[in-house]
Structure 1
Amino acid sequence: MRFFGVLLALTALSACTATERAAPVPAPPPPSAVLPKTPATLSGPVLDAGGACTGPAPGTAAAIEPGIDECDLVRLKGRPPTDVLVGEGRAGREVQVLYAEPGAKELYFFVNNRLDRIVR
């Protein structure tokens, strides 16, 4: 009987020494996920959804080439675009300008008011 009393006491003591495990603390997110991205600054007027410039275009570009702004494209083409899609992407403002020409279509891609590429 004494043996069972000692066994019961040891069992009770072992329950007191058991520790609970806390849930692991999650790792903090990487710094790039925490810091907000600063919006890119746009220089000069831009096109609205109807294809019109939002301000007076300075007209400095002499040819349609990467790096010109949206309003310079319209000025150099000499007529409003067929269609304009304006949106926000990873890099900031993204604009697609379509000119439908007889027998061909030209699509101009702008990122933050600068011509990025042309698809003909």
Structure 2
Amino acid sequence: MATLVLLGACTTSERDAPVSVQAKVVVAPPPSPSVTGPVLNPDGTCTQTAPGSVSAIETGIGECDLVRLKAKPPTDVLVGEGRSGREVQVLYSEPGAKELYFFVNGRLDRIVKS
């Protein structure tokens, strides 16, 4: 008897109303108050010109210093907020390898090369 009820429910011609889907625009959060100096926008551009005093890619440099030293725009930039404040991931796809730079509060924290 239960089978007949289930089959009857499967053959109903009633339809639910269409569901409306809205797209959300993702806006990068503003820099944390503990971030000083120029920072990267999600499109890979800098908010200000980097001063140019850094001469090597090493931990502690600023986000825009990396772009200036690489002398080309990044392949991709992810900007967000984490427990430590502003967190940015900068990807450079190089021939034969990828380089991922992790920044916390505007300063280079670590580099992953693959």
| Letter of the structure 1 residue corresponding to residue 85 of structure 2 | G
Q: Quick check: which one's helix share is greater?
A: 1
Shift of 1:40: 4.7
Give distance in 1, aligned partners of 2:94 and 2:57. 16
Task: Show structure 2 runs of 5+ residues with no match.
Answer: 1-31
User: Which residue is equivalent to 1:42?
Assistant: 35
Q: Which has the higher contact order (CA 8 A, sep 6+)?
A: 2
| Letter of the structure 2 residue corresponding to residue 108 of structure 1 | Y
Query: For the pair shown, which has the larger CA radius of gyration, 1 or 2?
Result: 1
Where in structure 2 are the equivalents of 1:28-107 lying within 5 Å?
40-107=33-100
SS in structure 2 at match of 1:74: helix
Give distance in 2, aligned partners of 1:56 and 1:104. 28
User: What is the total number of aligned residue pairs between the two structures?
Assistant: 82
Give distance in 1, aligned partners of 2:62 and 2:36. 9
| Letter of the structure 2 residue corresponding to residue 61 of structure 1 | V
Give distance in 2, aligned partners of 1:100 and 1:56. 23
Task: Show structure 1 runs of 5+ residues with no match.
Answer: 1-38
| Letter of the structure 1 residue corresponding to residue 108 of structure 2 | L
Percent of pairs with identical residues: 73
| Letter of the structure 2 residue corresponding to residue 43 of structure 1 | T
Cα RMSD (Å): 0.9
Give distance in 1, aligned partners of 2:76 and 2:109. 18
Q: Which runs of 4+ in 1 moved over 3 A?
A: none
TM-score normalized by structure 1? 0.66
